Amino acid sequence: MSAEKLTYMANQIANFFKNKPHEEAVAGIANHINDFWEPRMRLQLFEIIKQGGEGLSPLVVAAEPAIRKPAKTSS
């Protein structure tokens, strides 16, 4: 998946939670990503954040520590 598409998807989740209190929004974003994103998508999100998180909502970046880090796969 392209980084642009993944960023768009992550920002859609953040947009849904943006009117919640900060901590609730951050937890909601992390929970959604943990529950519905496959490991490869999460690994790609971590890479985008590691490279500076360009284009990502600050809420997504804030949720990063609560997102499960999958083992790296060879595929």
Structural domain count, the chain:
1
Asked, for residue 75, whether it belongs to a domain, the answer is no
Region 24-35 average pLDDT: 98
pLDDT band at 71 (very low <50, low <70, confident <90, very high): confident
Between 75 and 43, the higher pLDDT residue: 43
Asked, for residue 74, whether it belongs to a domain, the answer is no
Q: Is residue 72's pLDDT more than 90?
A: no
Domain, as residue range, for 19: 3-66
With beta carbons less than 8 A apart as the criterion, state whether 17 and 39 touch.
Answer: no
pTM: 0.91
Tell which residue, 52, 40, 50, has the closest CA to residue 6. Answer: 40
> According to the model, what pLDDT value does residue 58 have?
98
